[in-house]
Amino acid sequence: MRTTKFLALALCLLASASALSANNSAPSNDWWDIPYPSQFDVKSLKTQSFISVKGNKFIDDKGKTFTFRGVNIADTGKLLSQNQWQKSLFEELANNWGVNTIRLPIHPVSWRKLGPDVYLGHIDEAVRWANDLGIYLILDWHSIGYLPTEQYQHPMYDTTIKETRDFWRRITFRYKNVPTVAVYELFNEPTTMGNTLGERNWAEWKTLNESLIDMIYASDKTVIPLVAGFNWAYDLSPIKKAPIEREGIAYAAHPYPQKAKPEVKNDKNFFKLWDEKWGFAADTYPVIATELGWVQPDGYGAHIPVKDDGSYGPRIVKYMQKKGVSYTVWVFDPDWSPTMINDWDFTPSEQGAFFKQVMLEAKKR
């Protein structure tokens, strides 16, 4: 009996020791034991030039003018669901389409569904892939609506000022001093949709963006904040009298074909209207057309404001080259319109074939 009791006691102590060891080796999920966020390991990356702002230009570490040329891909969450989130997508773009930049549209609903920690892990992958290929990333908080009133065009864009601040706080901390993450597009497309989402107010929008920039710069001054104007990021005219009062920033434009409506459709008349609403900004500040593109009126996913007969492509490229405007085409995905590819074999659409040729030619220069 005594031997049996000692054996039982020994087994009990062994089990207790094993449990204690397990508890010490694996963190618990208790609120008091959640680890602090960690930063991306910059030392794991290849050497890559930081892109910065000088006057109305982007420049690299050597002071040479740099132009962002690239595409948007779909949200990481969508690509994961279709088994398309992989380095081969980035390789296709860098090696066969001539891009030097990929814009990552991060939808608030996708950010919440995956969870910040999981989503950041996938952005980490994008950073490594892009850095290995020598290209840059634009991170875009992809909402459409009016952030000050927290009213939006569709539930997928629903967010709050608090969530937006938290998003950029997490992003800025994670990717501090990471040259591959070159641009932070603070809010995708501001619009009140004819004041149905509240009354737009530039002073209010300006103040909100400046506060986001201050928060970002408090942690990292190596990144370029990108600010959008009203009318779905088309109208920058308010900055003529009240520009964003922060150094090192750039402006975003989404000059889709049906935004400008001249009576006579020729280069001169389109250029004049583009100058009035957004192109003028490029004379003083760097500008990135982070969305542009077209589809035929009877094509897949045709909708206002992207319908065009194809004349838009050569015209907008001619204008951007004249003004020194950078760009990322919407969108390298077969589901979202206007598409650049018809399938996951990367068969180019009409606009895809056009911009592919433009970017490949630019890469040779």
pLDDT digits (tens, 9 = 90+) for 176-211: 999 999 999 999 999 999 999 999 999 999 999 999
Domain count, the chain: 1
Residue with tokens 């194809």: 310
List Cβ neighbours of 146 (8 Å cut-off, separation of 6 or more): 152, 190, 191, 192, 197, 198, 200
Asked if the peptide bond before residue 338 counts as cis, ω within 30 degrees of 0, the response is: yes
Residue 153 lies in a domain: yes
The mean pLDDT of the chain is 94
Residue 110 lies in a domain: yes
Residue 18 lies in a domain: no
Determine the average pLDDT of the residues in 163-170: 98
Question: Could you give the percent of the chain with pLDDT greater than 70?
Answer: 92
What's the pLDDT band for 27 if we cut at 50, 70, 90?
low
What's the pLDDT band for 31 if we cut at 50, 70, 90?
confident
Annotated binding site for Mg(2+): 178, 181
List Cβ neighbours of 49 (8 Å cut-off, separation of 6 or more): 60, 61, 62, 179
pLDDT at 15: 45
Range of the domain at 325: 44-364
Q: Hey, how many other C-beta atoms are within 10 angstroms of the C-beta on 171?
A: 23
The CA distance from 224 to 184, in Å, is 6
Q: Hey, how many other C-beta atoms are within 10 angstroms of the C-beta on 13?
A: 10
pLDDT at 8: 44
Residue 335 is part of a domain; what is its CATH number? 3.20.20.80
What's the pLDDT band for 29 if we cut at 50, 70, 90?
confident
pLDDT at 339: 98
Q: Is the dihedral of CA 82, 87, 92, 93 positive or negative?
A: positive
Residue 23 lies in a domain: no
Query: Which amino acid does the sequence have at 136?
Result: Y
* pLDDT of residue 28 exceeding 90: no
Determine the average pLDDT of the residues in 332-338: 98
Residue 35 lies in a domain: no
The CA distance from 153 to 137, in Å, is 26
pLDDT at 12: 45
Two tokens, residue 48:
């890559």
**Could you tell me where the beta strands, DSSP code E, fall in the chain?**
52-54, 57-59, 65-66, 69-72, 101-106, 136-141, 144-146, 151-152, 181-185, 189-190, 224-228, 250-252, 287-289, 326-329
pLDDT at 145: 98
Residue 257 lies in a domain: yes
What's the pLDDT band for 34 if we cut at 50, 70, 90?
confident
Q: Which strands sit side by side in the sheet containing 151-152, from one edge to the other?
A: 151-152, 144-146, 189-190
Q: Is the dihedral of CA 156, 162, 163, 167 positive or negative?
A: positive
Two tokens, residue 354:
């056009």
Residue 33 lies in a domain: no
* pLDDT of residue 146 exceeding 50: yes
The CA distance from 111 to 76, in Å, is 9
Residue 17 lies in a domain: no
Residue 160: C-alpha distances to residues 122, 140, 278 (Å): 23, 16, 27
Determine the average pLDDT of the residues in 307-331: 98
Q: Hey, how many other C-beta atoms are within 10 angstroms of the C-beta on 308?
A: 24
Annotated binding site: 178, 181
Determine the average pLDDT of the residues in 327-335: 98
Two tokens, residue 85:
């989130």
Determine the average pLDDT of the residues in 248-254: 98
